[in-house]
Chains A and B, each alone.
Chain A
Amino acid sequence: MKSLDQRREQKLIRSAAAGDREAAGQLVSLHQASVYAYILRLSGRADVSEDVVQEAFVRVLTNLDRFDPQYRFSTWLFTIARRIFLNICEKRRPVFDSDRVSETGGVSCGVNSAWDDVEDQGHTRDAVQKALMHLSLDQREVVILFHQHDWPIWLIAEHLEMPEGTVKSHLHRGRTKLRDLLAATAASANLFRKEVVA
């Protein structure tokens, strides 16, 4: 049996599909925080996240008649947002040509270049984001969806189109790596603090 929120969401979706601007606005308000946080954690870039979220919502709102109500709206939205993000990664993949290096200042799905972007451009400088950018894309996605959005393993597996065992493997490795990186950051910070005090 569907919860009250789900029924309300279904009603909003039907209204928005019928052309109701107010309902569409409510749908955006309901889901923009989660999908923005998801893409921000994935990309490490606020500007990319804004672009992806906007594009994802526009696609969703203009294709609401294709939405299958038996699935969760958020899953559909996240899937579309993820595809848009991966498309951006594909388009902005670094080209190993000395003449074109200066042109590729965008987001990359790779660890180092994304990390450099974060450091150089000053977006989301928190330690968690820095640590996340050192995980592989699969590990990052699984850790974010499991711990930030509380998605169950089966749903993550469906979303990422990989077996549940692989999802668990990515989750455990990513979590361990994230912990180690954050611990290293904390240790460095403590050492720095001690040196300043001394």
Chain B
Amino acid sequence: MTNPSFSLPPSDDALETLVNEVIDAECEGNDALALSLMRRGVAEFPGFGARLAATRAAVKSLRSPVFVPDQRAAVLSEADFVRPFLSPRIRQQISASRVALAAGIVLTASLLTTLQYMYPAATTPGATQPAAVSSVVQASRADAAASVRSLASVVQDLREGMQAPVESVLRVGPNSSRLAGTPLSLGYGGSYDADLSVSALRNDSPRREATAWAPRRSREALPVDVPTVAYRGSDRFPLIGDKPLRLLGETGAPSASVRTVDLWDQLHVDADGVVTFEPSPVKKNSGPIKPAENK
């Protein structure tokens, strides 16, 4: 059977295709197409009839009856073991329970609808105590303000946690000093705007350098009033947290002239990381600023 030798003529692809088309048309019930294909096959291929008949016979043999054992009892017993069948009485009870449940739901819904229609004030939740819209808005605002305060306190806590006291002072000095509103001139005893800066090494990790300086708009001549709060980080973080840099100096007379001093030696850092500027006492009216010293 592995190497069949039979009496049919040699296979031809076109012939086989036509035979298959005829069989397909017959199986689909398209007799007209099957008939036309058969006519064409008979006309074109000499062995068409024999091959078609053999194919039909082969296909027909598949429809031969097969003895089928009745497995109903075995199937039902095994299915019953896996998922037990229910007796008619229990099934009726389940059906009745379902119907009763559905009816109860419908009745409850109907009752609620009727009550709502008849007594809308009594059945609407929250309808008995109307509240003005404005008070609701105020309550919302109060809640919002409380939320913002709460958030701000958390942020403040976080910022406090990021304090980094100054480890050492790197440099100091007025970067520039100019006369308020007027050009700097020799011998002028009026007020000056000062730009006093202090650079320090922060004590956090990674260690970084930060700079603080006196407010430009202080309108105070150096030496500044005691104490002057003056700090602003050159980076995002405060130089010494919430403890401001204090620039301490002598109180100068309104007509006092600014004298440059060696600021570097007069800076001190205490245990809290506060930078203190304590210049040595300066003689009043000790002399005008020299232009060369003020660059």
Contacts and interface: CB of A to CB of B under 8 A. Distances in A.
Interface of A: 18-21, 24-25, 28-29, 32-33, 36-37, 40-41, 50, 53-54, 57-58, 61-62, 126-128, 130-131, 134, 143-144, 146-148, 150, 168, 171-172, 175-176, 178-188
Nearest to B72: A28
A183 B54 contact: yes
Nearest to B7: A187
A166 to B, nearest CB: 15
B82 interface: yes
In the complex, the 10 A-B pairs of residues with the closest C-beta atoms, listed nearest first? A184-B4, A19-B86, A21-B85, A179-B58, A183-B6, A61-B79, A57-B75, A172-B20, A62-B83, A33-B68
A25 B76 contact: yes
Contacts of B20: 171-172, 175-176
B64 to A, nearest CB: 7
Nearest to B84: A19
B74 A54 contact: yes
A65 B72 CA distance: 20
Nearest to B51: A179
A175 B23 contact: yes
Chain A contact residues, majority secondary structure = helix
B5 interface: yes
20 contacts: A20-B85, A28-B75, A33-B66, A33-B68, A36-B68, A36-B69, A37-B68, A53-B71, A57-B71, A61-B75, A147-B59, A150-B27, A172-B16, A176-B19, A176-B20, A179-B59, A182-B58, A185-B4, A187-B4, A188-B1
A180 B27 CA distance: 20
B78 interface: yes
B71 A179 contact: no
B128 interface: no
B62 interface: yes
B27 A146 contact: yes
B62 A128 contact: yes
A24 B1 contact: no
Given A24-B85, A29-B72, A128-B62, A180 B1 contact: no
Interface string B48-80: 000100110111011110101111101110111
Interface in B68-117: 68-72, 74-76, 78-80, 82-86, 88, 90-91, 94
B17 A172 contact: yes
Contact of B16 (A25, A128, A176): A176
B253 to A, nearest CB: 99
Contact of B71 (A32, A168, A176): A32
B57 A21 contact: no
A175 B11 CA distance: 13
Contacts of B17: 172
Given A25-B76, A28-B72, A185-B4, 4 more contacts: A19-B91, A61-B75, A179-B51, A187-B6
A12 to B, nearest CB: 13
Contacts of A187: 4-7
A175 B68 contact: no
Contacts of B79: 24, 57-58, 61-62
